[in-house]
Amino acid sequence: MVPGSRGRSAAILLATLAAFLWATYYVFVLWLAPSTSASAVLIWPFLVGGGLFALYAVAKGQGAAFCRLWTDPAAWLRILCAVGMQISTLAATYTAGPIDTSLLALIGDVVVAPIVLMLLYLEGRDRLRSREFIAGLSLSVVGGALTIVGGHAIAPIAGWAVLILPVLPISVALYFVTTARAARSVPISALNAQAFLGAGIVLLVLSPALPGGASGLWTLSITSTGLLVALGAVTFFLAPLCYFLAVEKAGLILTALLMASIPVFTLALSVGVLGIVPTLLGALGVPVALLGAIFAIQGNHPPWTPDYGSHGGARAG
């Protein structure tokens, strides 16, 4: 089924809103950085976002599906992807800065996610015959490379931090592709609730080994606590909720590619709110990557319609 213009427009609006909300992540993190431990920034937003998704799932009658996920091995793999995604994103934000990090995440959405979908699930392979799609992927990679090479508004990526370069985009792609696929048979609110709460629990166990340690979780000011709650509500609940609603309306590939607007919003917020100004070469990478995404989203993007029955499942539409 090919989405009508209204469904496609709604998906574009939802995906763009998700992109803006996710771009605020970097503002929250760098506001918190001087006085809040990395362990707190890693763990509390997961628990807040997961808790809100759990309440949302229960309110929609999907509590049973949420409970069953804790015994599903695939769900624990998604939890590990979420942990890797969050650790690498936070590390990249602290070292390379928000603009470079948003471009790495963009490569995960625009380049790696479609490739994972095609290789693991054999979906969308027909798009490999599209010159626009291939050109779009190539431009997105070039744009990301320009920003990473010419950026570094905070500090260069060096040493062990180089591992961030592959881990961040791959973990982003694996989490969102596997979650979107699972959402064809399990309510998305239950999936995100279990993944985020599970990631928070895993990181709690690991907190003594994280920067700031376990003690850093509790020595928080009122301001830091408020910012952490807002970070969790905005970027771990509202943003993914909008993202997956867009997936339902226009499929995964279109939604993932529209995440190319995250670096645009991040650039605007970095300059306007944080006062971080990239180099000319670094800034040039953002419109190049955006142009690549515009090329790549051309064509039809079939939606799927979940139909949750008495067992909390769904079927592809």
Stretch among 11-15, 130-134, 174-178 having the lowest mean pLDDT: 130-134
Packing angle, helices 5-32 and 38-59, rounded to 10: 150
Task: Average the pLDDT over 263-278 and give the result.
Answer: 77
> Tens digit of pLDDT for each residue in 62-87?
999 999 999 999 999 999 999 999 99
Question: Which of the four pLDDT bands, split at 50, 70 and 90, describes residue 139?
Answer: confident
Q: Is residue 165 part of a domain?
A: yes
Nearest Cα neighbor of 78 from 183, 162, 235, 165 is 183
Q: How many domains does the chain have?
A: 1
Q: Is residue 32 part of a domain?
A: yes
Q: Is residue 23 part of a domain?
A: yes
Q: Is residue 310 part of a domain?
A: no
Question: Which of the four pLDDT bands, split at 50, 70 and 90, describes residue 270?
Answer: confident
Q: Is residue 302 part of a domain?
A: no
Provide the pLDDT for residue 20.
92
Judge whether 309 and 184 are in contact, CB under 8 Å. no
**Residue 279 confidence (pLDDT) above 60:** yes
Provide the pLDDT for residue 115.
74
> Tens digit of pLDDT for each residue in 8-25?
788 888 988 998 999 999
**What is the SS3 string spanning 80-118?**
HHHHHHHHHHHHHHHHCCHHHHHHHHHHHHHHHHHHHHH
Q: Is residue 301 part of a domain?
A: no
Range of the domain at 265: 5-296
Judge whether 189 and 56 are in contact, CB under 8 Å. yes
Q: How many CA atoms are closer than 13 Å to the CA of 123, on its beta-carbon side?
A: 17
Q: Tell if the pTM clears 0.85, that is, is over it.
A: no
Q: Is residue 205 part of a domain?
A: yes
Tell me the one-letter amino acid at 241: L
110 or 314, which is more confident? 110
91 or 306, which is more confident? 91
Tell me the one-letter amino acid at 205: V
Q: Is residue 112 part of a domain?
A: yes
Task: Average the pLDDT over 109-120 and give the result.
Answer: 72
